Chain A
């Protein structure tokens, strides 16, 4: 029998960015919050010997233990899904701070177009993609989101500069970035000057790696970034990268109203008479079951686990691609990455850098250009980023080099310091056959079904990918001093094997009504008003930007909603 613990005001499942923001905001307002976290405690002190590519970069030292839980995957409905046995395509967070500990810190706002994608693109182009693409507006606008973006960016102390296309996109800012952009480098300047020659509009990428010493509105301090080049996939040993463990979690702790319970894996949300009553979890050290009762439950355990917990707890209606009915699991989206590597004779300090040290342009994203003659909507950001190449993970060799042997060795060693990558990150739009559901066969270490991912790139994705790949090649070719280029190949089937991006979205979408979404615009579940679900799972589609600014903003909006709900006890929207 599960042991029943003392009731709290609010329980969150997971203590990453979303869990941390909810905890900080609610404890500041006087509520008691407890987070269940399956991993262990960690702090800046854990990262003194972090510059170890083999342990952390290649063997995923900070990420999810797949022997305990993973997903299954198939490309389409007719196939048999098989387990994602080792992480590759995306890397899931674990331990206190979650993936926010080992993120890069690229911190973009989505554009006004993103929140109203269906109505805006239908207005301009009609139903161009057809009904198989399940585009949806998000139920709120950029204007509604702006104050929350502002808040998250101040919490993180984002280093950035204005986007020259902001006005065209309708993306106003109520205040400038809290810090100046990161230092500029020879690599980035080379990209910038080429982009300008081609009439593009480059600007410095907004970064959560602190430019200078910074104190955020909660009184938490960030140290200046050292450009140490062990950023993404690694924790920051300086406390320079904004992460839950350098900002919101210590803030919540300082109120005396926050508790984190580690080694606690949530397995079910409990419900009674249209409300949820708490969370069942397993202490992974003893395998003993507990029940944590709470007035309010907040799922902050990332896209996959948020969806899975709702499914195993039978809350909401499962999406069925054959009938189009149901919302839970619908509109799962990923992203497309493309690009071209340029090779030089001249040497660059490719091994220095910071997670979000980069320059980017928005000329081909959203609806910033005319799509009338293209076979796709939306687009991609085009960038060059110097996050610091580490030799096992990122040592490119020119086109035509054999993959082993003497010639390979020579090329590997020569080119490590002689290349620049021009990349694109493409928006992924929802398709009726891409979705999340429970696997009928495979189980996790706690006896719960694995989540099943059914996903493939679509014709829309392929057309967009080709368009942007070609653009990156054009830029690479024009860079001063370039000797040869290696253009990435065009999109084939989605494969779960090579790393692409940890920007998974959808499955627990938000919206203006229960027919089109799982939660309302305060992330409150339509079927249980004391249950909230927060994360990139709320996105109706994925943009060409990174998700966390929007995830953080939504978490702040959710916290505001929870406080209102705590007072009124009513459904919020």
Chain B
């Protein structure tokens, strides 16, 4: 039998799908049990910080510092808690750029490439890893030109001014619009704050905690009909690994 031919024998042998009454009900039951266990998971699990991380895309320290400073302006540290840097967002972005996201792996990347209307979406042959690299370089070049300093050593206000010009598409870049880079930077910063901590950002689930988002909870069946507001300690996917 070829392993892509799914017929009755292989279907039930592999235990695929809740094909029988028994399979469906035990599955449901098992998952409910797991939800209850998770709610009671020890506090130590929930305060574990994401210490093991490293750069796997950006090669120079300056690139990484520029990226970090830009992210921090988008989601800054304040009296509520950490900003992008404290939450590990630059590592999140760095790691994503080295993976499917950076390589536009599941996107149509065949030519010909032509400038289209905004309504038609991006049309650049450049992969996101290269747009980020060039975008970060452009931030740095711009800082040097305006203030004779590195982007990361500028005052917040000065950094904002440069970022705003990127946002408005005012900066010359080749192969992509500076506004497109800014959109990616903004989206990725927010994603790094709010994605599950397994991706290297949202350190210690603090991005979630600040907005009172409880994360990957298994079930709310016992709470859904209540008028009370529930402030629930967040759970991440790593907490569910045995």
The 8 Å CB contact of A392, one of B74, B195, B216, is: B195
Say whether B119 contacts A495, CB under 8 Å.
yes
The 4 A-B pairs with the shortest beta carbon distances in the complex, nearest first, are A223-B28, A51-B216, A250-B19, A226-B219
Decide: A406 near B121, CB < 8 A? Known: A67-B107, A237-B31, A254-B19: no
Rounded to whole Å, the gap between the CB of B80 and the closest CB of chain A is 6
Type the 1/0 row for A387-399, where 1 means its CB is closer than 8 Å to any CB of B: 0000110010000
A205: B residues at CB distance < 8 A: none
- How far is it, in angstroms, between the C-alpha of A353 and the C-alpha of B225 when the chains are bound? 10
Decide: A222 near B221, CB < 8 A? Known: A254-B19, A405-B74, A417-B211: no
- How far is it, in angstroms, between the C-alpha of A347 and the C-alpha of B6 when the chains are bound? 49
**Binding stretch for chain B, among A152-160, A259-267, A528-536:** A259-267
Which of A44, A255, A285 lies at the interface centre, i.e. has the most chain B CB atoms within 10 A of its CB?
A44
Type the 1/0 row for A288-310, where 1 means its CB is closer than 8 Å to any CB of B: 00000000000000000000000
- Add 16 more A-B contacts to A253-B11, A258-B8, A442-B110 (CB < 8 A): A43-B16, A44-B17, A58-B195, A70-B108, A82-B114, A84-B108, A220-B24, A226-B220, A227-B224, A237-B31, A253-B7, A349-B226, A404-B163, A409-B76, A416-B212, A497-B121
Say whether B105 contacts A67, CB under 8 Å.
yes
**Binding stretch for chain B, among A124-132, A141-149, A182-190, A463-471:** A182-190
Decide: A250 near B18, CB < 8 A? Known: A220-B24, A229-B220: yes
B218: A residues at CB distance < 8 A: 51, 226, 228
The 8 Å CB contact of A86, one of B4, B107, B190, B211, is: B107
- How far is it, in angstroms, between the C-alpha of A416 and the C-alpha of B210 when the chains are bound? 10
- How far is it, in angstroms, between the C-alpha of A323 and the C-alpha of B25 when the chains are bound? 57
Interface of B is mostly: loop
Say whether B190 contacts A392, CB under 8 Å.
yes
Say whether A83 contacts B108, CB under 8 Å.
yes
Decide: A215 near B16, CB < 8 A? Known: A80-B114, A83-B108, A441-B112: no
B100: A residues at CB distance < 8 A: 59
Say whether B120 contacts A391, CB under 8 Å.
no
The 8 Å CB contact of A82, one of B120, B190, B195, B210, is: B120
Say whether B76 contacts A51, CB under 8 Å.
no
Q: List residues of A (327-357) whose CB comes within 8 Å of B's CBs.
A: 347-349, 351-353, 357
Say whether A404 contacts B220, CB under 8 Å.
no
B15: A residues at CB distance < 8 A: 45
- How far is it, in angstroms, between the C-alpha of A256 and the C-alpha of B12 when the chains are bound? 11
Type the 1/0 row for A202-226, where 1 means its CB is closer than 8 Å to any CB of B: 0000000000010100011111111
| 10 A-B pairs whose Cβ atoms sit less than 8 Å apart in the complex | A53-B195, A66-B106, A74-B120, A82-B123, A84-B108, A186-B227, A224-B28, A250-B11, A351-B214, A395-B211
Indicate if B104 sits at the interface (CB-CB under 8 A): yes
Decide: A249 near B17, CB < 8 A? Known: A59-B101, A229-B220: yes
Indicate if B52 sits at the interface (CB-CB under 8 A): no
Rounded to whole Å, the gap between the CB of B176 and the closest CB of chain A is 13
> Of all chain A residues, which has the CB nearest B234?
A351
Rounded to whole Å, the gap between the CB of B106 and the closest CB of chain A is 5
Say whether A213 contacts B108, CB under 8 Å.
no
Indicate if B37 sits at the interface (CB-CB under 8 A): no
Chain A count of residues within 8 A CB distance of the other chain: 97
Indicate if A75 sits at the interface (CB-CB under 8 A): yes
- How far is it, in angstroms, between the C-alpha of A185 and the C-alpha of B227 when the chains are bound? 7
Which of A96, A184, A185, A221 lies at the interface centre, i.e. has the most chain B CB atoms within 10 A of its CB?
A221
Say whether B220 contacts A222, CB under 8 Å.
no
Chain B residues engaging chain A, CB cutoff 8 angstroms: 4-8, 11-12, 15-21, 24-25, 27-29, 31-32, 35, 73-76, 78, 80, 83, 100-101, 104-110, 112, 114, 116-123, 160, 163, 186, 189-191, 194-196, 198-199, 207-208, 210-221, 223-227, 229-230, 237, 240
Say whether B160 contacts A86, CB under 8 Å.
no
- How far is it, in angstroms, between the C-alpha of A441 and the C-alpha of B123 when the chains are bound? 15
B213: A residues at CB distance < 8 A: 351, 391, 416
The 8 Å CB contact of A226, one of B101, B122, B221, is: B221
> Of all chain B residues, which has the CB nearest A81?
B120
A442: B residues at CB distance < 8 A: 108, 110
Decide: A392 near B28, CB < 8 A? Known: A67-B105, A261-B5: no
Indicate if A239 sits at the interface (CB-CB under 8 A): yes
> Of all chain A residues, which has the CB nearest B118?
A495
B219: A residues at CB distance < 8 A: 226-228
The 8 Å CB contact of B119, one of A43, A258, A351, A497, is: A497
Say whether B107 contacts A85, CB under 8 Å.
yes
Rounded to whole Å, the gap between the CB of B157 and the closest CB of chain A is 11
- How far is it, in angstroms, between the C-alpha of A130 and the C-alpha of B225 when the chains are bound? 49
Decide: A215 near B21, CB < 8 A? Known: A53-B196, A79-B117, A239-B28: yes
Rounded to whole Å, the gap between the CB of B99 and the closest CB of chain A is 10
B8: A residues at CB distance < 8 A: 253-256, 258
Indicate if A133 sits at the interface (CB-CB under 8 A): no
Say whether A406 contacts B78, CB under 8 Å.
yes
A183: B residues at CB distance < 8 A: 224-225
A85: B residues at CB distance < 8 A: 104, 107-109, 121-123
A376: B residues at CB distance < 8 A: none
Say whether A259 contacts B5, CB under 8 Å.
yes
